[in-house]
Amino acid sequence: MDRKEEFVGIVNREMNSVFNLAYRLCGNYHQAKDITQETFLRAYQSFDRFEGRSKIFTYLYRITCNVWKNTLRKKKIQNFTSYTAGLNTRKIEDIPAAENMFPDERTQNDAKNRIVQKCLDSLPAGDRAIIVLRDMEGRSYEEIAGILNCRTGTVKSRLARARQKLAEKILPFREDLNQ
């Protein structure tokens, strides 16, 4: 099996995870698709250098986070807290659905998902990445440290901070979410 065939297997196996991470990070279906494609393209370009010392998902997630950060820089969307203005007074129905959704997404995009995603979007980029990796993707502290290229202690501190911020943002919607 040559390298390309091996890579095709990785795409089929990891594509959903990468896309889901990309979507949770950027909050946009189309953008998530672009990030996923870019991630696999970059992974393929440097695939010969991947020696298997880290797990393949760590390798892919690290690229995903880097592609996403580059996207933020390019679009100069550094401040994701703009939505927090008046967020506490909003109702679920006030929260707009994501733009340019595919029909498939609309069916998946139930009320809870929309609330969670919008609250995530209101977090700073760094906090969002760490909380998505830990609480949505279920990665260990060590794996997150490897993906984000930081120390485990930093992951623990930042995760606590991110959770606190997210909890405060979700609090007004707690009743809706418990339904």
Partner 1 sequence: MKLHGNMRLFSLYIDGELDKKLKDSVALHIETCDECRKTVEMLKGTRDLLSRTGRIQAPADLARDIMDNIPETKPSALPVKKFYLPVFGTIALLIAAFLVMHNRTQEIQIARAPVHERPPETAKGAAIPELQQEKRPVDEVKRKNEEETVSQPGAYHKPFALKEKGTSLEKPVDRLSDTSRAREGTKVIAREEGTGKALAGAASAPSSSLKTEGQYCIIGEGGKKVCSSASSVSDEVSGTETAKITEARPLPNAMVIRDKKEWSSIWNTQNTLQNLTLPLPDVDFKEKMVVAVPSRQADNEYTVVNTIEEKDKIVVQYKELPLQKLAPPPYQLNVVNKKPSVEFQKID
Question: Least distance to partner 1 from the beta carbon of 61, Å?
Answer: 15
Kindly give, in sequence order, each residue whose CB lies less than 8 Å from that of residue 50, ignoring residues fewer than 6 positions away.
43, 56, 59
Q: 20, 66, 81, 154: which one contacts partner 1 (CB under 8 A)?
A: 20
Quick check: 30 and 73 in contact, CB under 8 A? no
Instruction: Report 146-175 residues binding partner 1 (CB under 8 A).
Output: 156-157, 159-161, 163-164, 166-167, 170-171, 174
Judged by CB under 8 A, the residue of 35, 63, 87, 116 near partner 1 is: 116
Q: Binding to partner 1 by residue 73, rule CB under 8 A?
A: no
Q: Is 98 in contact with 154 (CB distance < 8 Å)?
A: no
Selected from 78, 82, 88, 108, the binder of partner 1 by CB under 8 A is 108
Q: Based on the shown chain and the rule CB under 8 A, indicate whether residue 131 belongs to the binding site for partner 1.
A: yes
User: Smallest gap, in angstroms, from Cβ of residue 170 to partner 1?
Assistant: 6
Question: Which string of DSSP letters, residue by residue, matches 50-118?
Answer: --SSS-HHHHHHHHHHHHHHHHHHHHT-----GGGTTGGG--GGGSPPPTT--HHHHHH--HHHHHHHH
DSSP readout, 10-59?
A: HHHHHHHHHHHHHHHHH--HHHHHHHHHHHHHHHHHTGGG--SSS-HHHH
Residue 74 binds to partner 1 (criterion: CB under 8 A): no
| Binding positions for partner 1, rule: CB under 8 A | 3-4, 7-8, 11-12, 15-16, 19-20, 23-24, 29, 32-33, 36-37, 40-42, 44-49, 102, 104-105, 108, 110, 112-113, 116, 131, 135-136, 138, 141, 156-157, 159-161, 163-164, 166-167, 170-171, 174, 177
